[in-house]
Each structure stands twice: as structure tokens, then as C-alpha cells.
Structure 1
């Protein structure tokens, strides 16, 4: 049997890059999808060299439904049908909601929520036809419990969680699982924005984590690797917090 194909959005850096590396290490062929085409190209090359797997670099703005469909078609042409979709790409603007504007709302909603929906729709027909598939959303604990300075972002991540649960019910009969992973504070550029917004809030958050550290991208990637594997075949519609115990709901 051919190695499964995984398409990871926002895979040029951060959590997405760690997820792509985790899946490549497990033998997946990897479609590295990112708005930054140069970052996608570099990451695809590095994964191919390090893990000896076939990769493809795909440049796409997933907030555009046509671009999302084109990304899936490109992955199919270069690597084969997508078996695993990881909806990781996201944007945020950290600051008080009363200081935000509609332009920032629209972009956050378009990428985080609409982009996730568009990418998912683009892979579903093929997965249903093949009677198998894994869809993994990278949501956030902000979508479960809220996060100061990230109000619209929290709304989109909560929407992703609800979208995943509802979709899981519809597609389970086709052998497709849908789960959401919710990182807590993770060492990424976004966490840097939070620290810039309020160093005091950042430090208080870190002190509140029972494991006494923020996550590294690899901590999130390991959970995604499990969800993409046969070991998680009977797990669907779930929301998994990876937060070092910061939230325990």
C-alpha cells in the first residue's frame, strides 16, 4: 500500500512545520501548504531530505475557496489523493476587542474559520468516495475557555470546534474521523504577540501551567501524529486540549 498523503496548512513554520515533520517521520507523503510560498518550498525540501519521503510545496491563501480547492487538486496531482488533512493555518491580532476593527475581524474569520471549512470541503468528496480519511483541526484552548486580547480569534476557534463535532457525526459512516486539537500557550510567533500585548499576563499564564512550561510545537505535533494513525481509528468528534494542564475541562 502506498504511503498516506497528508496536507498540512500553515506548514511553513511553527506548529504546522512541526506537524509536517511528525507526519513525515511516520512515513506520510507531505503537501506543505502555506501562504508564504518560499517557506513552503524550503520546508518541503527539508522534509524530503531528512525523512526520505515525497513532498510538495503548495502556495495558497486558504481564505479563498477557489484557492483551497486548487491546493487539494495540486496535492492530488503531485502526491496522490489526500488521506489526512490538518487544518492548522491561522492568524490573529492581539489587542483589546474595543480597539479592533472590522478589517481585522474579517481577516481572522476568513482564514481561521472559513479557511478551515473551505479546505475541509475540498477534501471531502474524495474521502467519501474512498471511504476513509482523517481530518484534524488545530483549534485552541482560546476556543474552549476564551482568551483576553484574542476575542475574535477565540470565536473562530470555538467555531472550528463546533464545526468539527457536527461534521464528525455526518461523515463517520464513510470511515472519516474528525477531531480538534487545542493547544494552550505554545512557543510560536503568536505567543510573542501575547507577551508584547501584556508581559504581566504572559508571565501569569506560564505560572498557572501545572507542567510549568509553555508547549513546544512538537508537543502539539505528537498528538496530531496519533490522531492521523490507525491507533486513533475509533476516535472521532473529540476536542483534545494540549495545554500542560492549564485547562482541564
Structure 2
């Protein structure tokens, strides 16, 4: 996959799958706007890319704030001339039984996982529609397709992302803007790796729920996202692709 000359914006790119995707796309010629709510993390990833000979800028942004997302897109356009790809990757979710949660917690999850995606799309779509070209990949979760116990608000937010993605895909398809979802199950991010180290029984129990008897690796997650942004995908929009080792098989 070749992203030479493509301007790519990734939210939540300071760590995990977002970081790995940014590094992989930069290594393939992409020009990256690395966004994160933690400025130091965004700057660190942008520095890694620049240090390896790539092009990248850091952009601090809270995805819940439309003005900050608009400024992030503006910074990418100012630096690279356009935005070809937006990957709405920022997310959060803390497991807890629903009856033990409160509206403030729901608003936090939904604000990041759903409204963050809406803010990113609203900020970039006028630019993509005007250019008659663009790709948006909204990072979702199988929790939004089948529901996940102890992640009720998160599941609701991710289900909203699926519906939202399909709706706007229909609106902008005629403008050659493709909008799709990529769903993940458990991926071995830095956070998950640290949890496994603290609890040796956690991973063996978890993988029993997966037909492939393992969880996903960050490289596999990044490759799936890159595929949906690549030159190989030109007639696919409004779709949901799961990278999950068979955890959930949903039509």
C-alpha cells in the first residue's frame, strides 16, 4: 500500500492502534497530522515520524470540542495543502455494570466515541466535498454491533457510529468521498499488554472467547485500517469491516 503524497489525519494517535497506524502510513509515504488530547504524546509520535525521514505535525485536540477539531483540520490543510484521509480513532471505555454508572460517565463515553466522530466528520467534509475526493475511516468496535456487558454506554456510542457512518456515506458518495467503519475486538495495545502482565490469567481466559484462540496484534489492526484507506478500496462505502479473529460474526 502506497500513501505517497496523501495527507492523513488521525485522532487519538498518541498511543495504541492510532500510533501504530500513523507510523505505518508515514513509512509508506503518508504526510501525517498526529492528533491527541495529550500534546506530548502527539508530539512524540510526530517526532518519531520526522526522525525516520517522514513528514508529520502534531495537533492537540479534544475530539469532544468541535472548534478544536476544526482547528486540527485547518492545521493539516495549512501544512500539507489538503486532507485526503481522516481516521477517527480516539475512543474510551471503562468496564463497569450499567447500574453502577451515572449520566456523567455516559456523557464522557458518548462524547468521545460518538460526538468525537461526528465533530471530525463535520470539520473535514466540506473540504473533501469541495475537492470531490476523500476517505474517512471511523474506528468502531464489535460492541456496537452485538453489545458488550459492562460497556453499555460504550456499546451505544459505537452502535451510533455505525448508523452515522452509513448515513453520511450515502450523503457524500456522489462527491467521491468514501466513509467506512473498522471494528476491533481486543487488540494487544500497550495498555492491554500491561494488564496482561499484571494478571497472568487474564489473556488465557480471554482468548477462549475467540475462534482463532488469540487476540489481535496492533500490526493487524493497522493493516486493516490502511486497507480501507488505500488505493485498493475504491468502490466500498457505508460498510463495516471487523478485525476480530471471529469474535463476532455479524452480517
Please classify the TM superposition score into its range, dividing by the shorter chain length.
over 0.9
Whether the 8 Å contact between 2:4 and 2:29 is mirrored in structure 1 is: no
Please say if 1:20 is aligned against 2:22: yes
In 2, distance between residues paired with 1:104 and 1:213?
A: 31
C-alpha separation between the residues in 2 aligned to 1:212 and 1:129?
A: 46
Alignment RMSD (CA, Å): 2.2
Does the alignment pair 1:206 with 2:207?
yes
CA contact (8 A) 1:56 1:79 kept: no
Partner of 2:168: 167
User: How far apart are residue 195 of structure 1 and its match?
Assistant: 7.5
Alignment of 1:77-156 (within 5 A): 77-156=78-157
The number of residue pairs the alignment matches comes to 247
Preserved contact between residue 55 and residue 79 of structure 1 (Cα < 8 Å): no
1:153-184 Cα shifts (integer Å, max 9, x gaps): 01111110111111111111000001100001
Q: Distance in 2 between matches of 1:81 and 1:89?
A: 21
Query: What is the CA distance between 1:150 and its match in structure 2?
Result: 0.7
Instruction: Check the 8 A contact 2:4/2:30 in 1, yes or no.
Output: no
What is the distance in 1 between the residues matched to 2:4 and 2:218?
A: 28
- What is the aligned counterpart of 2:12 among 10, 13, 35? 10
- SS in structure 1 of the partner of residue 236 of structure 2: coil
TM-score, with structure 1 as normaliser: 0.93
233-242 or 19-28, larger mean C-alpha shift: 19-28
TM superposition shift of 1:205? 3.5
Whether 2:221 is the aligned partner of 1:226: answer no
The residue number in structure 1 matching 2:238 is 237
Once residues 223 and 35 of structure 1 are traced to their aligned partners in structure 2, the CA distance between those partners, rounded to angstroms, is 24
Contact 2:212 2:245 in 1 (8 A): yes
Question: Are the structure 2 counterparts of residues 147 and 40 from structure 1 closer, same or farther at C-alpha, using a change threshold of 3 Å?
Answer: same
Secondary structure (helix, strand or coil) at the match of 1:90 reads: coil
Q: How far apart in 1 are the matches of 2:191 and 2:47?
A: 25
Q: Is 1:72 the counterpart of 2:56 in the alignment?
A: no
Structure 1's 199 and 97: CA in aligned 2 closer, same or farther, altered over 3 A? farther
Which runs of no fewer than 5 residues in structure 2 stay unpaired? none
Give the Cα–Cα distance (whole angstroms) in 2 for the partners of residues 149 and 186 of structure 1.
Answer: 18
Structure 1 residues 5-55: Cα deviation after superposition (integer angstroms, max 9, x where no partner):
0000000000100111121122110000000000000100101222x2210
C-alpha contact (below 8 Å) 1:144/1:158 kept by paired residues: yes
Normalised by the length of structure 2, the TM-score is 0.92
* Cα offset, 1:2, TM superposition: 7.0
- Counterpart CA distance in 1 for 2:134 and 2:48 is 26
CA contact (8 A) 1:94 1:193 kept: no
Counterpart CA distance in 1 for 2:218 and 2:69 is 24
Structure 1 residue 212: Cα displacement? 1.6
Deviation at 1:208, TM superposition (A): 2.1
